[in-house]
Amino acid sequence: MKKLVKEDIHPKIIQRLLSSETEISFDDALENEMVLNMGPQHPATHGVLRLVLRLDGETVVACVPELGYLHRGYEKMAENMTYYEFIPHTDRLDYLSPPANNVAFVLACEKLAGLEAPVRANYIRMLVAELTRMGSHLVAIGALAMDVGALTVFLWTLREREKILDLFDIICGARFTTSYTRIGGVAFDVTDEALKLTKNFIDQFEEKIDEIEKLLNSNKIFISRLEGVGVVSAEDAINLGLTGPLLRGSGVEHDLRRATPYLFYNEMDFNVPTYKEGDCLARYFVRCDELRESAKIILQVMDKMPKGEIILNSPKKVLPKKTEIYSKMEELIHDFMIVNYGINPPAGEIYSAVENPKGELGFYIVSKGEGHPWRLKIRSPSFVNLQSLPKLVVGHMLSDVVAIIGSIDPIMGEADK
């Protein structure tokens, strides 16, 4: 292998390395700032987030997040694969909520190709998306509690999430990387048995979340660790482009399920919880409330879910059923064409966004009429939310940094893409 020489490195990078202030000098007796490298291997950075902190004692003077340790180049990879092939990759974006990512991506594809999934399929998509939201928020609450030191809550919330994963096992056929949705529908129908199990889960869920809240909400240490920490005002939140619980925790009532209804959210009766404080505690409360709202939505979805087809009958765009491929010539040809050349949506560009557990997950797709996207841009909520971190942590203590990261709840798979 050729050894790297100075000329190989981009001058910009060299300049940045030279100008970064990582030198510590002790010329002045009162000069007591320390540069602390936090991560990428650190128990509280939720994956491989790296923070470089400048500390004055325990107080944070400056913070520089370093992203990209989990960069897999998904946006570029998408340009070399068909739309169908990209669905499993969306599982790996926000790896705590794969079904919601699947839903977001196929909605974008359908918008691009001008398709409309059957009603039942859309209801099923809502069902899995809301279950995902619950699972993701449970992890967020548990991880936040663990970051401030309450380990037991984490295990309790994971126990509840485990039940959701078991439901996914029954509904989607996989617990974690579900790849459940298809362009024009979903992969499998939801059985009545699965709906019954979901109902049972929702029925006992209220009690469990009360239990978790009882342990945290009345705990003075927990409250004082989060109250007034990492405050972001409504104006700042909008300017930073924050979405999801962060934005609603700052008092802005913005939820894409309400603002630009997709699927059948406009038919659902649910509240958008908002808190004015904008601190970590408010974000925690928003997540707790959203858990209850999601449970409410799931009950309504199950009530209203009609019988019928789960996948669109559109041979040029939607994969035919497996049984038909083996028995009918036409279906075999379509299957071959879709798998090998893709669905060839008309040339154009669209932006489609949904409210994911972490915030607004958007897909900007440019098509040249080919089987694979010409450009696919992922607007991932964790990436955008993370840019508020340097603003939030300055002036707080080292212990608050982990609480703030926990309340932002970034998922590096999504932030690094």
Partner 1 sequence: MIFEFFADLLGSQILSAIIIAALPLVFIILYVLLANWLERKVSAHMQDRLGPMRVGWHGWLQPIADMIKILQKEDIVAKDADRKLFSAAPVLVFVGCYAAFAAIPFSSAFVGADLELGLLYILAVSSIVVAGILMAGWASNNKYALIGAVRSAAQIISYEIPTVFIILCIIIVSGTLNLTTLSEQQSGTFLNWYILGGDVEGWKKFALIPFMFIGFIVMYISSVAESNRTPFDLPEAESELVAGYHTEYSGMKFAMYLFAEYANMFVVSALVVAMFLGGYQSPFGYVGDLINVPWLIPIEQFFWFTVKGLFFVFVQMWLRWTLPRLRVDQLMALCWKYLIPIAFVNLLIISFLMIL
* Helix axes 83-91 and 98-113, enclosed angle (nearest 10): 160
- Determine if 265 is a binding residue for partner 1 (CB under 8 A): no
CB of 158 or CB of 234, closer to partner 1: 158
CB contact set of 392 (below 8 Å; sequence gap of 6+): 230, 231, 232, 404, 408
CB contact set of 194 (below 8 Å; sequence gap of 6+): 167, 170, 171
Q: Read off the DSSP letter of residue 267.
A: G
| # residues near partner 1 by CB under 8 A | 30
- Determine if 42 is a binding residue for partner 1 (CB under 8 A): yes
- Determine if 148 is a binding residue for partner 1 (CB under 8 A): yes
- Determine if 156 is a binding residue for partner 1 (CB under 8 A): yes
Among 84, 86, 222, 284, indicate the residue that binds partner 1 (CB under 8 A).
222
- Determine if 61 is a binding residue for partner 1 (CB under 8 A): no
Closest separation between CB of residue 9 and partner 1, Å?
Answer: 27
Binding string, 96-135, against partner 1, x = CB under 8 A? Answer: ----------------------------------------
Residues 378, 15 contacting (CB under 8 angstroms): no
Closest separation between CB of residue 152 and partner 1, Å?
Answer: 5
Question: Of residues 200-219, which lie at the interface with partner 1 (CB under 8 A)?
Answer: 215, 219
Residues 160, 138 contacting (CB under 8 angstroms): yes
CB of 17 or CB of 151, closer to partner 1: 151
CB of 177 or CB of 219, closer to partner 1: 219
- Determine if 412 is a binding residue for partner 1 (CB under 8 A): no
Closest separation between CB of residue 384 and partner 1, Å?
Answer: 24
Mapped onto helix, strand or coil, the DSSP state of residue 48 is coil
Question: Of residues 391-410, which lie at the interface with partner 1 (CB under 8 A)?
Answer: 397-402
| CA gyration radius, the chain | 23
CA nearest to 372, candidates 78, 76, 92, 89: 78
Among 34, 259, 339, 347, indicate the residue that binds partner 1 (CB under 8 A).
34
**Binding span for partner 1 by CB under 8 A among 32-40, 73-81, 128-136, 376-384:** 32-40
DSSP conformation letters of 343-387: --PPSEEEEEEEEETTEEEEEEEEE-SSSS-SEEEEE-HHHHHHT
- Please give the backbone phi and psi of residue 379, each rounded to the nearest 5 degrees, phi first: -95, 95
CB of 42 or CB of 328, closer to partner 1: 42
Q: How many CB atoms lie within 10 A of CB 323?
A: 9
Residue type, 364: Y
CB of 58 or CB of 253, closer to partner 1: 58
Among 87, 93, 113, 146, indicate the residue that binds partner 1 (CB under 8 A).
146
- Give how far the C-alpha of residue 321 lies from the chain's centroid of Cα atoms, to the nearest Å: 30
Conformation bin of residue 351: beta by default, left when phi > 0, alpha when psi is -120 to 50:
beta
**Binding span for partner 1 by CB under 8 A among 77-85, 129-137, 139-147, 285-293:** 139-147
- Site residues, partner 1 (CB under 8 A): 34, 36-37, 42-44, 58, 145-152, 155-156, 159, 215, 219, 221-222, 224-225, 397-402
